[in-house]
Amino acid sequence: METLHFDLVVIGFGKAGKTLAWTLAAQGKNVALIEQSNQMYGGTCINIGCVPTKALVHRAEQVADSNGAELFEEAVAFRGKLTEAMRAKNKQLLVTHETAKLIDGHARFVSDREVEVTAGDDRLRVTADYFVINTGASPVIPEAEGINESRRVFTSTELQTHTPRPQRLAVVGGGPIGIEFASMFAHFGSEVTVFNRGERLFGSSDPDVAEVASQILSDAGVKILNGVSVTSVEDGEDATSVGYRDSAGEVQRLEVDAVLVAAGRRPATEDLGLENTSVKVDDRGAIEVDQTLHTSVPHIFAVGDVNGGPQFTYISLDDFRIVLDQLVGEGKRSAQDRFAVATTTFMTPPLSQVGMTEQEAQQAGKNFRVASKPVDQIAAMPKAKILETPQGVMKFVIDTDTDQILGAQLLVVESVEVINLVAMAMRAGITATQLRNSIYTHPSVTEGLNEVLA
């Protein structure tokens, strides 16, 4: 069996690993990137996550009174072309470097210093000075009778390319992925029901913001069932029956055409051969790392979703910066440096958040004030009305002792852009007064800060 040696071996084509691979290859390092699927060149984000789903969300927002079923099929076709082009570009960014090698196949550790790559009947042994595990995460399938046998149960990966569009869709899970798909398919014209275990949706938001967001979903046609658990899934000839226990403990059933399982994602560490190494894994299957992303084996790093941290592409990109600094920099950067990291739930309009909620500020004993206003009442921000999306609310929590922004919850069109400005202001120590009195382009959503922060 042939054995190859590299300065660095990356397992998985995700954001952190691929960026590290081509950055070090550009510096002349001998680098290999191992990926088991040629449909995942570039990683989760561009193939089955952020990019393709947001392309579908964008198309869904254009439906209006048009034929949603037909436009969904057009959107799926557009999504396919987009991801195909991005896969090709990501491959090119790597292989154009003379010292970089793309190895197709499944990697499995046989020791702390060696992996075996299999592709069909082909076998290859690979050793390296450093390894970076970058295998991402995979969907969690909840326990329910018949759920694994049903031909109408889909993960978010599968449903985004499944045509025709389901007329009736059950979404099992009320987290960001479930909400995104529920909102999107409702705009495409599906009858959507969300099965949520919690007492309410948007549990990381303040109740007043969560109430507005839930109402927006309801107004879009999404039926929300809180405090419920799905107990069974049974396929019929033309439909699938979802059995669930409601908030009163009664067993109910709902017939649908498709079931989306959106119950979270777990680190993808199965069949990596970690039992043959000294790499420690926690009870969730996540690889344990320190603040500089070293595993329990000093020359092995774990980056992205597989290390159990926040499952966001931009966190993975920051993981790249940390590991790069460890390998060829000053070794000072760490995950402890992260502050005011924003998140977005891509419903329509999107809900973006950063920092503390009002409840968290109370629990922390902060002296604070709340600046909040419904979007349709912000006179100085006509952009939302121009875009025909006047729903939502903009809410800030401000430290009254320092005038620093403690947190923000922006349920407003284009919030995904504005939240980055707010997060940077928090990191830079810019006050709420300075944000309020800044000059912003008109018309823009950003200029809502002029009024809401007053």
264 is in an annotated binding site: yes
First to last CA, the chain: 70
Residue 426's identity, in one-letter code, is M
17 is in an annotated binding site: no
305 is in an annotated binding site: yes
Which residues, including other chains, have CB under 8 Å from residue 427's CB and lie 6 or more apart?
A: 339, 340
173 is in an annotated binding site: yes
CA nearest 1: which of 99, 158, 114, 95?
114
List active site positions. Answer: 442
Q: Whole-angstrom Cα distance, residue 326 to residue 301?
A: 10
Q: Whole-angstrom Cα distance, residue 442 to residue 220?
A: 29
Give the count of beta carbons closer than 10 Å to the beta carbon of residue 362: 12
CB-neighbour burial class of residue 422 (10 A; exposed 0-12, middle 13-18, buried 19+): buried
174 is in an annotated binding site: yes
Q: Whole-angstrom Cα distance, residue 19 to residue 252?
A: 49
Residue 393's identity, in one-letter code, is V
70 is in an annotated binding site: no
177 is in an annotated binding site: yes
- Residue keyed to tokens 């419903």: 347
118-137 exposure pattern, b = at least 16 Cβ within 10 A, e = fewer: eeeeeebebebebbbbbbbb
Give just the sign of the alpha carbon dihedral 61, 86, 18, 41. positive
- Residue 283 corresponds to which tokens in the numbers above? 């009870």
Task: Give the residue numbers of the binding site.
Answer: 54, 173-180, 264, 305
Task: Give the residue numbers of the binding site for NAD(+).
Answer: 173-180, 264, 305
